């Protein structure tokens, strides 16, 4: 497909979620990359402009660089379906499931895929019960946010109140999760159906094991190892696990799954899957793609070419 065939493209960025600033960083990078390849690409912030203007202004394709709610959760995807405009990434159902860590875990467990023990909680008392059952350390986080927003690693029962308060600021749905001690890795996935493939695994070594919002985006202290340094068989097994996790949620286009490897048993545990991953200078999908011989610019064009919709054009 030539860039002329891609038509007028909107890079959706910004939005109204807690990850707005990161989305602007991602979208700016994508916009510049597409324009450098001759794509007729323009910025579009859905929190500042009505999505209906996409149709009126002649946009025929969207690159979704939105993160979190109102962008990665099926809402924008549904609007684009109604407008008849192809878009990058997963469709309505997969997007809405993947943003919800509780629903994601339920589906993965129903398919026999490993994920850390968890409880959904609605009060400090619930959180304390979860702590007694899951043990220390325990992760408390909003169920429908990303970028480690609102996340706390709880070491003592008395920390549950503050952890629950922080998480519930961002979401009415709060998740308590068993902490898995070991290697933290992430695996990007590209494609759909029979063309799907896992990119190289990245092993993450954050300062004091704290891969938080600041260490993800605003420092150079975190180490990203690619090649990951894991035994070849272990890396391949993790990639296969992630491909199955991607498939059972119905993902398409691209995504990135986060995995913890238990230090004692070497068993991998699926944490979550991101259906609109970051594309900033610190982001992991471009890093893994580069290790596979795909430049940032080529990656952006490849993803844009994969833009599609859930439903065919209705007959009239």
Q: Is 120:174 a contact under the CB 8 Å cutoff?
A: yes
Q: Are 147 and 164 in contact (CB under 8 A)?
A: no
Of 20, 27, 203, 217, the catalytic one is 217
Per the annotation, the verdict on 19 as an active-site residue is yes
Choose among 286, 276, 185: nearest CA to 238.
185
Catalytic residue among 100, 128, 159, 258: 258
The residue from 20, 69, 252, 256 that is catalytic is 256
Token pair belonging to 199: 């990119």
Q: Work out the number of other CB atoms within 10 angstroms of the CB of residue 206.
A: 16
The pair of three-digit structure tokens given for residue 91, joined into one six-digit string:
């469709």
Residues 272, 276, 288, 306: which is the catalytic one?
272
The yes-or-no answer on residue 217 being catalytic is yes
147 is catalytic: yes
Among the options 68, 278, 297, 306, which is catalytic? 278
Catalytic residue chosen out of the listed positions 19, 100, 170, 183:
19
| Residue 138 near residue 179 (C-beta atoms within 8 A) | yes
Is 177 an annotated catalytic residue? no
Query: Which has the closest alpha carbon to 201: 264, 260, 139?
Result: 260
Name the catalytic one among 274, 276, 283, 288.
274
Q: For residue 220, indicate whether it is catalytic.
A: no
- d(CA 308, CA 303) in angstroms, rounded, equals 10
Q: Which of 17, 90, 95, 147 is catalytic?
A: 147
**110 part of the active site:** no
Strands 8-12 and 40-44: parallel
Query: Distance from CA of residue 285 to its chain's centroid?
Result: 10
Question: Which residues are designated catalytic?
Answer: 19, 147, 217, 256, 258, 272, 274, 278
């Amino acid at each position: 497909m030539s860039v002329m065939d891609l038509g007028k493209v909107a890079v959706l960025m910004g939005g109204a979620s807690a990850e707005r600033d990161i989305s602007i960083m991602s979208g700016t990078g994508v916009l510049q990359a597409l324009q450098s390849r001759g794509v007729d690409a323009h910025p579009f912030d859905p929190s500042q402009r009505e999505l209906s203007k996409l149709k009126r202004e002649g946009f025929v394709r969207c690159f979704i660089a939105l993160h979190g709610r109102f962008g990665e959760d099926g809402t924008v995807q549904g609007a684009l379906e109604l407008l008849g405009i192809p878009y990058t990434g997963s469709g309505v159902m997969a997007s809405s499931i993947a943003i919800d860590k509780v629903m994601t875990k339920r589906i993965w467990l129903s398919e026999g895929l490993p994920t850390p023990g968890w409880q959904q909680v609605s009060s400090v008392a619930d959180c304390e019960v979860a702590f007694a059952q899951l043990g220390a350390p325990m992760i408390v986080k909003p169920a429908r946010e990303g970028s480690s927003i609102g996340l706390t690693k709880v070491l003592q029962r008395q920390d549950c109140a503050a952890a629950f308060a922080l998480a519930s600021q961002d979401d009415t749905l709060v998740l308590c999760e068993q902490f898995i001690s070991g290697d933290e890795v992430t695996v990007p996935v590209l494609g759909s159906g029979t063309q799907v493939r896992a990119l190289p695994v990245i092993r993450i070594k954050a300062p004091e094991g704290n891969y938080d919002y600041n260490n993800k985006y605003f420092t150079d202290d975190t180490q990203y190892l690619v090649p990951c340094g894991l035994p070849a068989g272990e890396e391949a097994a993790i990639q296969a696990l992630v491909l199955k996790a991607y498939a059972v949620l119905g993902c398409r286009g691209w995504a990135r799954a986060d995995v913890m490897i238990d230090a004692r048993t070497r068993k991998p545990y699926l944490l979550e899957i991101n259906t609109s991953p970051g594309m900033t200078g610190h982001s992991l999908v471009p890093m893994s793609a580069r290790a596979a011989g795909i430049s940032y610019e080529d990656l952006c064009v490849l993803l844009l070419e994969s833009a599609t919709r859930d439903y065919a054009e209705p007959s009239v």
